[in-house]
Amino acid sequence: MKSKATATSSTLIVISIIATSLTWAAPRSTSDTTQMRDVAKHDELSLKLRMAQQSDPVKNLGPAIGNLEVDPAIPQFKRSFLDSSTILCYRGVITFVPKRAVLHVPEHLESRIGVTGDIEIKNWPDFYLANRGWIRTIEVTREQAMGDVPFSEATLEAISTSSSLIVATFKNGPIAVRPPPPEPDEDEDEDEDSEDLANNNTETENR
């Protein structure tokens, strides 16, 4: 279906080109004239630029407000899909899932992470359909993905002992899973309390 559509587009383009060529190639009298100009040169364009720079419409909008020291576009420009993805690869076919969407990689499947040799890219649904033999998905809730609700012990056990590669999904799309926030360490609290107590004792002694 896709190649048929592409072929149709190509055909239209070819027809369009031929039609245009026929129009242009039609015989013309040498006395005909048309709107034509000499190609623009550097000097002419330098003058144009100087005039244009004197009235940049962006500056005319009014002074920018907010943080003017930092260009907010730089982090956007530096975004990399490849760097923020984990690549799953099997028999020359790869797909991308967000980093932290892969919850478990058994040792015998570690070689299927990353790119090797010539490749073809598939989107996730197509790749998963062809590789269900070694990939399992776990549908997670929004809260689990945000790390607000931890997985149950049984789920964690099933993930860690699986012989398949486990990918977290939300509505069938791979999703990164944030680790739940660390639980407060009771020992540390006790230590702090002890320290405070010790400080108080010291203060008492000083008095």
Partner 1 sequence: MKYIFLPLIALLGLSAALVTPAQAQDYTYFVHQIQMDGDGDPNNDLDWDVSVDQEGSETSPLAINPFGARFELWAIRTNPLTDYLIDTTYVNSYIPVAEVVITSEDPYEVIPRTRADRPFSVSIVVSGLSVDPSAPDPAKSVKLLRHVQEYPQTGGKKNGKNIDRGLATLLSQGSLTDNGTHQLDYAVTSIPGANRARVRGEERFSVYSLADFQAPESQLDSSFIQVWPVAESTVTGITNGESIKGVAPDVSVRLINLYPDSWTYAQVYKGDPQLGTEGIIVPSSSYLLDRTTPRNKTINLRDWDNVIEEDGRWTMEIITRTPFGADRLSYVSFDVERTILINGAVTSVE
The residues in 85-114 that bind partner 1, with binding defined as CB under 8 A, are: 96-101
Among 15, 19, 52, 149, binds partner 1 (CB under 8 A): 52
Residue 2 contacts partner 1 per CB under 8 A? yes
Residue 170 contacts partner 1 per CB under 8 A? yes
Per CB under 8 A, which region of 151-159, 170-178, 188-196, 199-207 contacts partner 1?
A: 170-178
Residue 139 contacts partner 1 per CB under 8 A? no
Measure the CA–CA gap between 146 and 15, rounded to whole angstroms.
Answer: 53
Tell me the two tokens of residue 169: 């999904």
Among 58, 117, 185, 206, binds partner 1 (CB under 8 A): 58
Give the dihedral of Cα atoms 81, 82, 84, 87; nearest 10 deg: 130
Return the amino acid letter for 190.
E
- Residue with Cβ nearer partner 1 (6 or 202): 6
Of 148, 125, 150, 140, residue with least CA distance to 176: 140
Query: In a 3-state reduction of DSSP, which class is residue 87?
Result: strand
Residue 49 contacts partner 1 per CB under 8 A? yes
Among 15, 19, 71, 113, binds partner 1 (CB under 8 A): 71
**Is the sign of the CA dihedral 66, 69, 73, 79 positive or negative?**
negative
